[in-house]
Structure 1
Amino acid sequence: MNAKVELYGWEVSPYTAKVDAYFHFKGIPFNKIYPNAYTLARKIQPAVGKMIMPVVYINGKKPIQDSTIIIDHFEQQNPTRAAIPASPKQRIAAQLIELYSDEWLPMAALHYRWNYPENYNFIIGEFGSNALPYFPKFIQNKVAKTFAGKMSGYLPILGITSNTEQALEQHVEALLSLLNTHFAQHRYLLGDQPCLADFSLYGPLYAHLHRDPAPKDLVAKHRNVLTWIERVQGNTSTENNTLPDNDQIPDTLIPILSHMTQSHMPLLQQTIDAIQQWAKEKHTGDKVPQRLGDATLSIEGKQETRYNLSYGYWMLQRIQETYQTVSEENKPPVDEFITQLNGFSLLKEPLHNHVMLKNCRLYLS
């Protein structure tokens, strides 16, 4: 008997889009539920620690939060047609794209959503109709504006100011151009079969950069990227291809990965340093602060101060665990791959502290 799977999340949520695409690839039957404000406050928050999405309920009583944890759970339960590559280079590449898509690209997504006035009425409408679906429009809008104020308030916290906005857009345009070149030759990121990398990147590209009204045609002008979005959005459960043999990485993916690491790794190095310093007098089970002081964000030569957020450390730790499982005999090609990517050599440096994720928070473990 199949379990009853319910996915709670909104269409504007990139992490919900990520899980949605994954479920379709795996052929996992599920019901998609758009949680209203009452459900978020009275069901989701008590169960997982905060009002957040996506959350998956299994048979109505086993909530799972965090898109990465959700995918891990269903991969263990449904190992057929694995979404997470088994071979080390391909697995590291997929996890790296997930890290960037979940932790770095949201800066761009928030910038475009909240710094382009043309998006405001659209987003207010989306927030209002989801949060209060049976209320009059004027009440929906009033409540939605409170949500909007909170979300747009994250911009300076993340280092997105007038000093970095143009550089951030240059970074995104370069990313889309590299992706467009890649998808002219390959159906998906790692080849001709979708995997974790595709679902992760699809989340912010679809739910924010493509779906929001402005800038008009930001994604659509890159025809191959748009075709890939439509492909991932479709019925990928019928895809019967495989990833490249012998742990090969497509040549056109290397510049994309390097573009990601060049901007993201310096920020993560500051997180590593901050956690190492903070943990000196801490113990197993201690809660890791969500913010560990400030960090310097560098984008295309521009710099800005932002919060040094700890969550990315946990995701990097997962990639390093993949690296550490590689035998010494098989490490040379993996090391060669890592050194091709700007700044990614930090992966080879052991992390001094281990953390675990529980109810939306990190703890020393």
Structure 2
Amino acid sequence: MTDKPYILYGMMASLYTAKVRAYMRFHGVNFVERAAGLPEFTQNIVPKVQRWIIPTVVTPEDHIIQDGTVILDYLNQEEPNKGSIHPDTPVLQSIAHLFELFGGEGLLRPAMHYRWNFDEANLDFLKLAFRDVLPPNLSTEEQEGFFLHASGRMRKATIQFGVKDENQKDVEDSYDEFLTYIEAHLTNHPFLLGGRPTIADYGLFGPLFAHLGRDPKPLSIMQKKAPHLFQWVERMNAPAGNENHLYISSKGDLFSDDAIPDTLIKLMAYVAEEYLPEITSHVGFANDWLEKNTHIESGTSGLDNPSKRSIGYASFDWRGKTNSSAVMLYRFYLLQRLTDYFGDLSAEGQRPVCDIFSKSNLTSILTLKTQRRIIRKECLEVWK
């Protein structure tokens, strides 16, 4: 057993880095974090993962692991004494996978909107935050140039995720509803599924800390409208042994399958209204795209640039209007974690899952699949 720490390359303002850092801190994993702007990352790590992307972890054995979900799976297996983040019942594990998907992908609209559309409140803070990914020893003018380039890309991504000039009020109304539902739930429960954090919490934590619980504009909204959610953010980000952990029940018990709180059902129903039409549209778009591109070789994305993440744009009904967003292969990778788990259950195991998901109008997501599977090959999402 080595005493070498894990090395986490990331950024404090990165939502995908956030859940890895939180897991490592909360579970007492020996790690150090290094800025992704350092030459060691761009020169040694980026060529091996084939694109500039965070988070990336180097293990004590010098293995490189990229992607927050993959990293958490690895740590959960390699550090079993830290406690599992996977529930052990079909209902809870299915719910956990649902929020793993929704947290990482379904909250991108408010996360990006509240970061990039409120420059008066956020801009000075963001310029400082983005220094984590800038090369060292730059002049003030060079720092400004790099930030303008990086922020320009992110502002374009905000539109790609479905935030348009004409629907910004809808994004804000939608997020306000989310705050109402999750605040009601966390008022009586320390974590999403009970007495300890699971992959559901870590999925939600990324956007709710790095963007919505840290940038000045959305931070003030969360603290005012959802103080219990803000305390959950602090709890999730606390180091092992911190007094914040006293919020955890003495046994770390999760809910039983037959005692799912109504507040959680309502939160799931919000996911059905907010995100199910979008992911369903994306799957339909991908299946049509695959039928037109039958020549795609296994182990490739079918795109000219292998590091590109989107295959096009899909339209969907959202809050009484038509919206569109980029269809990203990574979303199907996360969706498969839910559908694979559900599909592997016996008929007896599936029955209570269907019962809970039907209460929140989410039954269809349990079998929602693309015609070809997405796998990860050399840190890229590709078709099998």
The residue that corresponds to 1:327 in the other structure is 346
State the TM-score, normalizing by the size of structure 1. 0.93
SS of the residue corresponding to residue 325 of structure 2 reads strand
The aligned runs of 1:44-83 (5 Å cut-off) are 44-59=45-60, 61-80=62-81, 81-83=83-85
Paired with 1:301 and 1:349, the residues of 2 have a C-alpha distance of 23
Which region of structure 1 is more displaced relative to structure 2, 315-324 or 239-248?
Answer: 239-248
Deviates more, 1:56-65 or 1:172-181: 56-65
Equivalences for 1:33-48 in 2 at 5 Å? 33-36=34-37, 38-48=39-49
Instruction: Give secondary structure in 2 for the equivalent of 1:8.
Output: strand
1:85 Cα deviation from its structure 2 partner: 1.4
Measure, in 2, the Cα distance between the counterparts of 1:317 and 1:247: 25
| Pairing 1:17–2:15 present | no
Alignment match of 2:137 (pick from 129, 134, 137): 134
CA contact (8 A) 1:48 1:359 kept: yes
Query: Is the Cα contact below 8 Å between 2:9 and 2:41 reproduced in 1?
Result: no
SS at match of 1:209: coil
After superposition, the C-alpha distances for 1:235-277 in whole angstroms (9 at most, x for unaligned) are 3566541212347433211111221222212111122223323
Q: Does 1:96 align with 2:115?
A: no
Deviation larger for 355-364 or 219-228 = 355-364
Letter in 2 for 1:20: R
Task: Give the conservation status (yes or no) of the 8 Å contact 1:296–1:306.
Answer: yes
Distance 1:36 1:346, change over 3 A: closer
Whole-Å Cα distance in 2 between the matches of residues 103 and 360 of structure 1? Answer: 19
CA distance in 1: counterparts of 2:369 and 2:215, whole angstroms: 40
| Structure 2 match to 1:278 | 289
Q: CA deviation at 1:161?
A: 0.7
Q: How far apart are 1:137 and its partner, in Å?
A: 3.0
> Separation in 1 of the partners of 2:187 and 2:219?
22
| Residue 260 (structure 2) pairs with residue 249 (structure 1) | yes
| 1:87-122 CA distance string (max 9 Å, x none) | 111111111111111112122111111100121121
Q: Which amino acid aligns with 1:256?
A: L
Q: Which residue of structure 2 lines up, in the alignment, with residue 176 of structure 1?
A: 179
Residue type of the alignment partner of 1:109: A
Q: CA distance change for structure 1 residues 334 and 305 in 2, over 3 Å: closer, same or farther?
A: closer
Q: Residue 143 of structure 1 aligns with which residue?
A: 146
2:15/2:209 contact within 8 Å kept? yes
Measure, in 1, the Cα distance between the counterparts of 2:186 and 2:17. 24
Structure 2 CA distance for partners of 1:216 and 1:18, relative to 1, 3 Å:
closer
Using the TM superposition, name which of 62-71 and 119-128 deviates more: 119-128
The answer to whether the Cα contact below 8 Å between 1:191 and 1:250 also exists between their aligned partners in 2 is no
Q: Please list the CA deviations of residues 21-77 of structure 1 after superposition, one character each: whole Å capped at 9, or x if unmatched.
A: 111233211111112153443223202111111100013631100101101111221
Contact 1:158 1:306 in 2 (8 A): yes
Once the two structures are superposed, the pairs formed by residues 343-358 of structure 1 within 5 Å of their partners are 343-349=362-368, 351-358=370-377
Gaps of at least 5 residues in structure 1 are none
Matched position secondary structure for 1:296 = strand
1:24 and 1:150, CA in 2 relative to 1: closer, same or farther beyond 3 A?
same
Given the alignment, which residue of 334, 337, 343 partners 2:356? 337
- In structure 2, how many angstroms separate the alpha carbons of the residues matched to 1:306 and 1:130? 26
Residues 163-185 of structure 1: per-residue CA shift (max 9 Å, x gap): 22111111111111111111111
Give 1:211's aligned residue.
Answer: 214
Query: More displaced, 338-347 or 25-34?
Result: 338-347
1:107 equivalent among 106, 109, 114: 109
The percent identity for this pair of structures is 28
Give distance in 1, aligned partners of 2:16 and 2:149.
21
Q: Give the secondary-structure state (helix, strand or coil) at the position aligned to 2:64.
A: strand
1:229 is aligned to 2:233: yes
Letter in 1 for 2:285: A
TM-score by length of 2: 0.88
Q: Does 1:265 align with 2:276?
A: yes
Supply the AA of the counterpart residue of 1:104: G
1:301 shift after superposition: 2.1
Cα distance in 2, alignment partners of residues 72 and 8 from structure 1 = 17
Query: What SS does the aligned partner of 1:210 have?
Result: coil
Structure 2's unaligned 5+ residue stretches are 304-308
3-state SS of the aligned residue for 2:193? coil
| Separation in structure 2 between the aligned mates of residue 236 and residue 258 of structure 1, nearest angstrom | 33
Alpha-carbon contact 1:89-1:249 (below 8 Å) kept: no
Matches of 1:123 and 1:353, distance apart in 2: 39
Which moved further from structure 2: 66-75 or 298-307?
A: 298-307
* RMSD, aligned CA: 2.1
Q: Which one is further off, 72-81 or 177-186?
A: 72-81
Counterpart of 1:161 in structure 2 is 164
